[in-house]
Chain A
Amino acid sequence: MLDVYAESTSEVDGIAEVIEATYSELQVTTYKDRLSQLQNMQTMYDETLTNAQSTLSQTQTIATQEIIIAVVATSLIVLFVMLYTVRERTKEIGTLKAIGFSNWNVMSQFMLEGMFMSLVAGMVGIAIGIVGTPVLSGLLLPGINPFRSSGPFQPASAPANAGMPGVGIAAAVPDLQLMLLALGAAVLLGALGSLYPALRASRTRPAEAMRYE
C-alpha cells in the first residue's frame, strides 16, 4: 500500500493514469473512486430502508384495515345481540317501567349490560392473545424463539439478527399498554353497539310491552 498525494485535486486523475500506465501491476484507487463506492453503498442501504419501510407501511395498512373490520364487526355483533336481548326481554322492560323505572333508568341498565358484556369479551380476547401470541409468533416468524424474551409483559429485547448490523427483528410480544387500550376500545364499542338497542328499550311503551309474550 502506497499513498500518493497530489498538489492539487485537478491533478489527481492525471497522476493516477500515469501511475497505472507506468506500473501495470499496481491497482490505483483515488478518493473519488472511494467516494463513489461509499455513495453506492449508501444508495443500497437507502433502498433496503425504503423496502423495509414500504413493507412496514403495507403491514400497517393491512393492520389498519383489520382494525377497522374488527371495530365494525364488534359494534354490529353487540348491536344484534343487544337488539335480540331487548326483544326477548320486552315484558321485563314493561314490568320495570310499570314499577317506576324511568326511560333513563332502563336505557342505562341496557347500556351497562352491553358494556359489561364487551368488557368480559375483551378480557377473554386478551387472555387468548397472551396464550396464543407465542404460539402464533413461533409459527409466523420461525427462527425466533419468543420464549427467550423476558416474560410477556415486557417489550421484546430484540434478538440480534445476523446480516445487517443494528437491525433486529422484534418478536411479537403482548404489550400491557396495548392490552389496556384494547380493553378500553372493547368497552367503548360495547357502548356504541348498545346505544340504539338501549334507546329502543327505553322508548318501549309499557302497556304494549305487557301484552308481548
Chain B
Amino acid sequence: MSEIVVKTEELSKTYMMGKREIQALSDLNLQVKKGEFVAIMGPSGSGKTTLLNVLGCLDKPTNGKVILDEVDVAKLPEKELYKIRRDKIGFIFQTFNLLPYLNAIENVELPMENTKRSKGEKRKKARELLELVGLAGREEHRPQKLSAGEQQRVAIARAMANDPAIILADEPTGNLDTKHKYEIVRLLAKLNTDRRTTIVMVTHDSHVASHTERLLFLNDGKITKEKQGAHLAKKQLLVRTKQCEREDVKTVEGL
C-alpha cells in the first residue's frame, strides 16, 4: 500500500505581473507517495518555485486542489494554514534563511516554538536532529560561524523539527560549492532512505537530481516529462559510490 502524502488536482496559478497575466502553473496533476524523493527540474520561469510554494501553503492556487495528508489546503484560511505549515511541512531554502541572531540549536528549535512541547523536549529534539545532520558539538555556533554547507545542515534539521509529512527544498544546493552540494544531497538521500522522509526538491543541477528516485520536468507550468523508478537513482548512486572506491567502472555498469 502506498500512502499518498500530497496530491494536486488540476492545479493552476496565475500571477499579474504589471498588466500581463502570467500562467505559472496550468492544470498540474501530481502525486507524491510517502517515502518518495522527488526532484523537480525545469528552466527558470517554468513554475518550479511556484509549485513548491503552493505545495508548502506559502501561496494559494488560483484553481484546483492541493490535498496534503488528506486535507484540501487550497481552501483553508490563514488561521488554519499556519498550523499545516508548522506541523506538516518542512521548508529548506536556497539561501538557508537561518536567523542570524540565534545559534544553531535555537534555529532548530524555532518551528517548535509555538507547540505544546516542553522546553526540555524541544532542546532534546533539536540536539538529536543536529546530531543526525552531523553537527554534534556545533549547537552553540551562530550561522555566521558556520560554513555554507553547515548552515544548510542546520536548515535541514530545522525543517525536520516537527516531524513533517513532507520536506520541500527549493534549490537546496544552489548556493553551495561542489563539495558541499553533494554532502547536502547525500544527506537528504540518507534521511529519505533511513527515515522514510518524503522529500520534494527543486533543482537546476542534474547531478543533484540524479540522487533522487523520481524526476519531474516542468515546462510552462506543466509536467512535461517524468523519469520514474528507484533503479535510476539507486543505480547511479551505486555507480558513483563504486567509482569513488575503484576505477573499474565497467563491472558496475553491468548492474
Interface residues on chain A, number (Cβ under 8 Å): 17
Within the complex, the shortest CB–CB distance from A164 to chain B, in Å, comes to 61
Q: Roughly how many angstroms separate A66 CA and B206 CA in the complex, as a whole number?
A: 67
Residue from A92, A102, A206 in contact with B114 in the complex, judged by beta carbons closer than 8 Å: A102
Contacts of B53 in A (CB 8 A): 206-207, 210
Q: Roughly how many angstroms separate A98 CA and B86 CA in the complex, as a whole number?
A: 8
Query: Are B82's CB and A100's CB within 8 A?
Result: yes
With A91-B97, A95-B93, A210-B93 as contacts: A100 and B86 at CB distance below 8 Å: yes
With A103-B78, A207-B53, A210-B93 as contacts: A97 and B85 at CB distance below 8 Å: yes
Query: Are B111's CB and A102's CB within 8 A?
Result: no
Query: Are B99's CB and A99's CB within 8 A?
Result: no
Query: Are A97's CB and B82's CB within 8 A?
Result: yes
Say whether chain A's binding surface is mostly helix, strand, loop, or mixed. Answer: helix
From B78, B82, B114, residue with most partner A Cβ within 10 Å: B82
Query: Are A207's CB and B83's CB within 8 A?
Result: no
Q: Is the C-beta of B91 less than 8 angstroms from some C-beta in chain A?
A: yes
Contact with B along A120-162 (1 / 0, CB 8 A): 0000000000000000000000000000000000000000000
Q: Roughly how many angstroms separate A96 CA and B93 CA in the complex, as a whole number?
A: 12
Q: Is the C-beta of B176 less than 8 angstroms from some C-beta in chain A?
A: no
Minimum CB distance partner of A106 in chain B = B82
Contact with A along B157-171 (1 / 0, CB 8 A): 011001000000000
**23 contacting pairs across A/B (C-beta < 8 A):** A92-B99, A94-B58, A94-B97, A97-B58, A97-B85, A98-B85, A98-B93, A99-B86, A99-B91, A99-B110, A99-B111, A99-B158, A99-B159, A100-B86, A100-B87, A100-B114, A100-B162, A101-B86, A102-B79, A103-B82, A206-B53, A206-B58, A207-B58
Residues of A at the B interface (CB closer than 8 Å) are 91-92, 94-103, 105, 205-207, 210
